[in-house]
């Protein structure tokens, strides 16, 4: 993989204009440079013409005509430049949005285990920083180039004007600008040096900022008195970010001081040459006005040019990190080639000598784990907290890969399957599922907007017992969820959310149904409804059911009981009760609470 240097990154951005079929930008750049670059040059001739006309006693009409012509040309050039610039600005935005969509697609395809890794998150923040807005990174590179081309035209014309009088003034202005540019480059290098520190501090600050302002945390913050705790955390992380920002600004001030000294030296020597020439009677008072105005305008353009070059270097460096990230996308995602997965057939799932620990940790969650789920089997996975039950589900779904060993689907390693095709096998309700800010029905059917999808989506909602409630709402199935996007959005109860998540899994209709604590927020009656229709919900499919409520295990063919050391018991409900080991003890304790009413909903 080639390293993305400054010029390679800049070249890739320019090439994107062609690959995005926006080649008209290549034509508009020289036109903007010519028309926009002439505007400040035209302005320096006003004072010279006025002084000459007054001192030479020329008619007022002549002066008005000249000023009118200059003004007309200036307005025309400025107007054309603005029109062209407006067009290019829209296209720069389109280019960034196009790349941002690419970023989202890559992020969506990244192996899930990377997403949970904080180091990867920092790398993502550094890479994605280029796409965050129109004032930093990718999009401003095009604006910087546009402004640099425009400034170059002005610099050339100003240099010609000054060289006709004294070439050393032009050289002096250029040298002063070079020193300023080098100073700015020092600032740019320092900013790039601190980019990872800035990304890390920004990620931490952003988390506490979001937590403090997200109303979904409101109840916990108030009830548990977390306001001061969270605000202190936010303050500390903000201070860490501010310290980095302050260090950058202090460095900028130091380098800017040298730029100011060069500017004073340049102006002093330039004005000396002009005044001396006037008293030597080699130029007129009108020429003095022209050259002084030219120096002021030239210096302004040069300072702007130096700033644009510095900003270009800084923004390209930011974009360089973005290209580094997307060039490594193959490192972040792995996928096999097998796409022919027969979704209507329940598969056989086998763990073979599987070892697993989470990235950057030392604790083994699974050791030499061997386990088989037969096709069409309905399996309950039960046991102690922290025994690795949810981890097993993540491994089966392909969200994590075994550290050692392999998982076989119908005798083939799960890593040989194409990721997207592999995911299509599973209808899963995760313990930490999410509800999205779209309509109730869209939360079930997603992007499939066909009439058939509508009917099946409503049927799935009916099967989990939500239809009656939904149809009582004014907008029924079109009711928006949450209040983040729509003010009239609804926020379902915990139990209703779980039913919605189960409906989503039913709609997907994968040939493996995985339910991770699917009824933890349901009351006993609602739970009973789900259990009674359990066989219907998972008919002809392999089903894996994780729950702390052992009363659900009687609906399953086999039970796998785990403790902190791994799989301890495996068999039918009756077999494990007869064995009178861990499962028997847990079932007996929960049964006692059900009878005595000691724990609501049978939680133990």
The position carrying tokens 């340049």 is 266
Q: Report the alpha-carbon distance of residue 549 to residue 278 in Å, rounded.
A: 99
Sheet containing 542-546, strands listed edge to edge, beginning at the edge strand earlier in sequence: 426-429, 512-516, 542-546, 378-383, 558-563, 566-571
Q: Which helix (H) or strand (E) holds 538?
A: none
Question: Environment class of residue 186 by beta-carbon count within 10 Å: exposed (0-12), middle (13-18) or buried (19+)?
Answer: middle
CB 45 within 8 A of CB 6: no
Query: What does CATH list as the number for 6-331?
Result: 1.20.1560.10
At how many degrees (to 10) do helices 195-213 and 285-327 cross? 80
What CATH code would you report for 349-434+509-602? 3.40.50.300
Q: What pLDDT score does 604 carry?
A: 34
Q: What's residue 34's pLDDT?
A: 93
b/e burial code for range 403-437 (CB count within 10 A of at least 16 → b): eebbbbbeeeebbebebebbbbbbbbbbeebebee
State mean pLDDT over 101-108: 76
pLDDT digits 0-9 by tens, 531-544: 666 666 677 788 88
Q: In the chain, which residues fall in CATH 1.20.1560.10?
A: 6-331
Q: For 214-244, write each residue's pLDDT tens digit.
A: 666 665 666 666 677 777 777 778 787 777 7
Q: What stretch(es) of the chain map to CATH 3.40.50.300?
A: 349-434+509-602
Q: List C-alpha distances in Å: 324 to 110, 198, 544.
A: 15, 18, 40
136 and 202 in contact (C-beta within 8 Å)? no
Least confidently predicted of 1-15, 50-64, 338-352, 388-402: 338-352
pLDDT at 30: 93
Q: What is the pTM of this model?
A: 0.65
pLDDT tens by residue, 259-315:
667 777 777 788 888 888 888 888 888 888 888 898 888 888 888 888 888 888 888
Give the confidence band of 465 by pLDDT, cuts at 50, 70, 90: confident
- Reading the block at residue 279, the tokens are 């008293």
Grade residue 583 by pLDDT with cuts at 50, 70 and 90.
confident
Which helix (H) or strand (E) segment is 399 a member of?
Answer: none
Helix (H), strand (E) at residue 425: none
As beta bridge partners, residue 356 has 366
What pLDDT, in 10s, does the model give residues 181-214? 677 666 667 666 666 677 677 777 777 777 776 6
Rounded to whole angstroms, the Cα distance separating 354 from 388 reads: 13
Going by DSSP bridges, is the β-strand pair 366-373/512-516 parallel, antiparallel, or unpaired?
unpaired
Neighbours of 577 (CB within 10 A): 15
In three-state secondary structure terms, 485 is coil
What is the rounded CA–CA span in Å between residue 471 and residue 489?
Answer: 15
Burial label, 98 (beta-carbon count in 10 A; 0-12, 13-18, 19+): middle
Lowest pLDDT segment from 130-144, 374-388, 447-461, 580-594? 580-594
* Residue 149 or 168, more confident: 149
pLDDT tens-place string over residues 397-428: 888 888 899 999 888 888 888 888 888 888 88
State the pLDDT at residue 600.
42
Q: Which two tokens stand for residue 300?
A: 């302004």
Q: What percent of the chain has pLDDT over 70?
A: 83
Residue 519 has a pLDDT of 66
What sections of 538-572 are H helices per DSSP? none
The runs of H, that is alpha helices, within 378-427 are 389-396, 419-423
Tokens representing 436 are 């999205």
Round the average pLDDT of the chain to a whole number and report it: 80
Residue listed under structure tokens 């285990």: 113
Q: How many percent of the chain have pLDDT more than 90? A: 10
Query: For 557-570, what is the mean pLDDT?
Result: 82
Instruction: Give 503 or 236, the one with higher predicted confidence.
Output: 503
Q: Is the dihedral of CA 525, 526, 531, 533 positive or negative?
A: positive
Alpha-carbon gap, residue 556 to 536, rounded angstroms: 13
């Amino acid at each position: 993989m080639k390293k993305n240097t400054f010029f390679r990154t800049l070249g890739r951005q320019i090439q994107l204009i062609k690959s995005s079929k926006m080649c008209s930008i290549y034509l508009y750049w020289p036109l903007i440079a010519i028309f926009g670059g002439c505007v400040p040059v035209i302005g320096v001739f006003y004072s010279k013409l006025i002084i000459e006309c007054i001192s030479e006693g020329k008619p007022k009409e002549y002066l008005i005509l000249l000023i009118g012509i200059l003004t007309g040309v200036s307005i025309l050039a400025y107007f054309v430049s603005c029109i062209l610039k407006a067009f290019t600005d829209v296209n720069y935005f389109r280019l960034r949005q196009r790349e941002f969509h690419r970023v989202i697609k890559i992020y969506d395809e990244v192996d899930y285990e990377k997403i949970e890794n904080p180091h990867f998150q920092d790398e993502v923040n550094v890479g994605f920083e280029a796409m965050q807005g129109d004032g930093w990174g990718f999009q401003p590179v095009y604006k910087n180039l546009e402004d640099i081309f425009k400034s170059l035209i002005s610099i050339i014309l100003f240099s010609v004007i000054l060289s006709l009088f004294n070439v050393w003034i032009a050289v002096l202005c250029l040298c002063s600008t070079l020193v300023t540019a080098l100073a700015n480059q020092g600032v740019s290098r320092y900013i790039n040096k601190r980019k990872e520190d800035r990304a890390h501090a920004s990620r931490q600050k952003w988390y506490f900022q979001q937590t403090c302002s997200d109303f979904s945390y409101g109840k916990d913050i108030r009830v548990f008195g977390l306001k001061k705790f969270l605000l202190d955390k936010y303050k500390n992380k903000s201070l860490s970010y501010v310290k980095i920002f302050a260090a950058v600004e202090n460095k900028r001030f130091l380098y800017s001081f040298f730029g100011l000294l060069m500017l004073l030296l340049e102006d002093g020597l330039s004005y000396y040459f002009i005044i001396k020439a006037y008293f030597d009677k080699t130029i007129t008072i009108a020429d003095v006005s022209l050259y002084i105005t030219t120096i002021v305008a030239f210096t302004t353009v040069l300072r702007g040019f130096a700033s644009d070059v510095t900003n270009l270097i800084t923004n390209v460096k930011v974009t360089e990190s973005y290209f580094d990230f997307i060039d490594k996308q193959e490192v972040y995602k792995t996928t096999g080639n097998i796409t022919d997965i027969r979704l209507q057939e329940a598969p056989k799932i086998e763990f073979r000598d599987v070892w697993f620990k989470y990235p950057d940790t030392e604790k083994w969650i699974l050791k030499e784990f061997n386990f088989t789920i037969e096709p069409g089997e309905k399996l309950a996975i039960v046991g102690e907290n922290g025994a690795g039950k949810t981890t097993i589900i993540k491994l089966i779904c392909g969200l994590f890969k075994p550290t050692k060993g392999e998982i076989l689907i119908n005798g083939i390693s799960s890593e040989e399957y194409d990721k997207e095709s592999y995911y299509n096998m599973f209808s899963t309700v995760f313990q930490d599922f999410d509800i999205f800010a779209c309509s109730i029905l869209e939360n079930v059917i997603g992007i499939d907007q066909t009439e058939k999808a509508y009917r099946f989506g409503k049927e799935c909602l009916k099967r989990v017992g939500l239809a009656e409630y939904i149809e009582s709402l004014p907008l029924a199935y079109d009711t928006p969820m949450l209040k983040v996007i729509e003010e009239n959005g609804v926020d379902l109860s915990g139990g209703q959310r779980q039913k919605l998540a189960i409906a989503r899994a039913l709609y997907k209709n994968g040939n493996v149904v995985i339910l991770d604590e699917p009824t933890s927020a349901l009351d006993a009656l609602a739970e009973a409804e789900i259990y009674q229709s359990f066989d219907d919900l998972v008919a002809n499919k392999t089903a894996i059911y994780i729950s702390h409520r052992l009363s659900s295990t009687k609906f399953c063919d086999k039970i796998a009981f785990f403790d902190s050391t791994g799989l301890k018991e495996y068999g039918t409900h009756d077999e494990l009760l007869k064995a009178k080991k861990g499962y028997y003890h847990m079932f007996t304790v929960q049964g006692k609470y059900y009878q005595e009413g000691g724990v609501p909903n049978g939680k133990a």
